[in-house]
Structure 1
Amino acid sequence: MPDLIARAEAFARQAHAGQTRKGAASEPYVIHLEEVAGFVRRHGGDEIALAAAWLHDTVEDCDGVTARDIARVFGAAVAAVVAELTDDKALAKAERKRLQIVHAASKSPRAALVKLGDKTSNVRSVAASRPVGWSLDRCCAYVDWAEAVVAALPEAPEAAQVEFLAAVAAARRTFGS
């Protein structure tokens, strides 16, 4: 199975090549994927969860990558987790964000762990390198929303929840809120 993780990492690195984070530092996007995969590994995710951690944004954010591609290359189990984590880009952003909260409670344990890692990475990123054009109020609103998503997730390992809450507390200190 480690081959599955290595293949997912290579696929994600290639799919996200040239993409950067929204922050002022314009870090390579793959750093986010590394952070999410590291989180999932630290908190006991299995090979399928780790592969999904690498692939969680490919369908949503990479041109030419489809859910069928993920299923064909990585199998139905990985594809199912990635599908749970993929927003419908045809919807307005506000609706996608609302639906993340609504659908959080029905996530599988694997998808919930990846989602928790994703939100932890994103909260840290927003605090470390404020996205271009974002006010402090918008950053705080993002952290509030991330908390709402995580609060709605099924139970996750306690250490994973503690790590997320530490990221939120650090972000709030950064923003002075």
Structure 2
Amino acid sequence: MTKLTDKFESALVYATRLHARQTRKISGVPYIAHLLSVAALVLEAGGTEEEAIAALLHDSIEDQGGKSTREEVGRFFGEAVVAIVDGCTECDTEPKPPWMERKQRYLTNLRHASPSIRRVSLADKLHNARSLLADYQLRGSSIWSEFKAGSEGTLWFYRELQQIYTETGSDWMTEEFIRVVQELEQKK
């Protein structure tokens, strides 16, 4: 059983402040709700405190400052956390590379990633898929217009992720991800 320390509490405060002005793309829900959900999934899947901290910070480098944020995360929470966050980061530069290039690189890196990176990635993508399904149930197919790649590209990416998660060690989160993606496929 994972025991959380004041380091987790510090990460929670840091993530809350870092993402204070950010909301979810479609629902407008405060972004911290996503980070809390990802951390909860990691812990429920038997993750370590470092993985749970990385779950809280998994979008910090990409969305909130790039290299300078990476340095802060390393200083405050250690290199093991930074390594997991880096593994979950599509890019740390502005402007971002093209969508397909980012997704292909993410998939390639995920195939060879550590179990810790895959656990946090899976928790992130599972929560994203669940949120997308909830948004669909509220707003219908108009949600797909919020995504650069629309329904086709988004679902292609989820299918590719599903294959990697299955090949690298299936667990209850993988099974749930597959179920949610199948439901999304039926609604495209």
Question: How far is 1:143 from its partner?
Answer: 2.6
Corresponding residue for residue 42 of structure 1 = 44
1:139 and 1:127 map into 2 onto residues whose CA distance is 12
Question: How far is 1:132 from its partner?
Answer: 7.1
Aligned pair partner of 1:70 in 73, 91, 108: 73
1:133 and 1:92 map into 2 onto residues whose CA distance is 17
Question: How far is 1:33 from its partner?
Answer: 0.7
Asked if residue 124 in structure 1 is aligned to residue 106 in structure 2, the reply is: no
Question: How far is 1:30 from its partner?
Answer: 1.2
Asked if residue 91 in structure 1 is aligned to residue 75 in structure 2, the reply is: no
1:101 and 1:80 map into 2 onto residues whose CA distance is 16
1:53 and 1:156 map into 2 onto residues whose CA distance is 19
Sort the Cα spacing of 1:81 and 1:6 in 2 relative to 1 into closer, same or farther, 3 A. same
1:69 and 1:43 map into 2 onto residues whose CA distance is 27
2:152 and 2:126 map into 1 onto residues whose CA distance is 14
Sort the Cα spacing of 1:157 and 1:7 in 2 relative to 1 into closer, same or farther, 3 A. farther
Task: Tell me the secondary structure at the aligned position of residue 107 of structure 1.
Answer: coil
2:97 and 2:153 map into 1 onto residues whose CA distance is 20
2:18 and 2:126 map into 1 onto residues whose CA distance is 22
Aligned pair partner of 2:179 in 148, 166, 170: 166
Question: How far is 1:107 from its partner?
Answer: 1.1
Corresponding residue for residue 107 of structure 1 = 113
What is the one-letter code of the residue matched to 1:169?
Q
Contact 1:123 1:143 in 2 (8 A): no
Once superposed, what is the RMSD of the aligned Cα atoms?
Answer: 2.1
2:14 and 2:183 map into 1 onto residues whose CA distance is 32
Sort the Cα spacing of 1:70 and 1:48 in 2 relative to 1 into closer, same or farther, 3 A. same
Question: How far is 1:19 from its partner?
Answer: 0.5
What is the one-letter code of the residue matched to 2:55?
A
TM-score (ref. length: structure 2): 0.82
Contact 1:140 1:172 in 2 (8 A): no
In structure 2, stretches of 5+ residues that fail to align are 137-142
Contact 1:100 1:149 in 2 (8 A): no
Question: How far is 1:85 from its partner?
Answer: 1.2
Q: Which has the higher contact order (CA 8 A, sep 6+)?
A: 1
What is the one-letter code of the residue matched to 1:114?
V
Corresponding residue for residue 149 of structure 1 = 161
2:64 and 2:9 map into 1 onto residues whose CA distance is 19
Aligned pair partner of 1:51 in 53, 57, 60: 53
Task: Tell me the secondary structure at the aligned position of residue 145 of structure 2.
Answer: coil
Corresponding residue for residue 13 of structure 2 = 10
Question: How far is 1:157 from its partner?
Answer: 4.9
Which whole-Å deviations, capped at 9, do the CAs of 1:81-139 have from their partners, x for residues lacking one? 1111112244222211111111111111111000001111111122222547348x823
1:55 and 1:126 map into 2 onto residues whose CA distance is 21
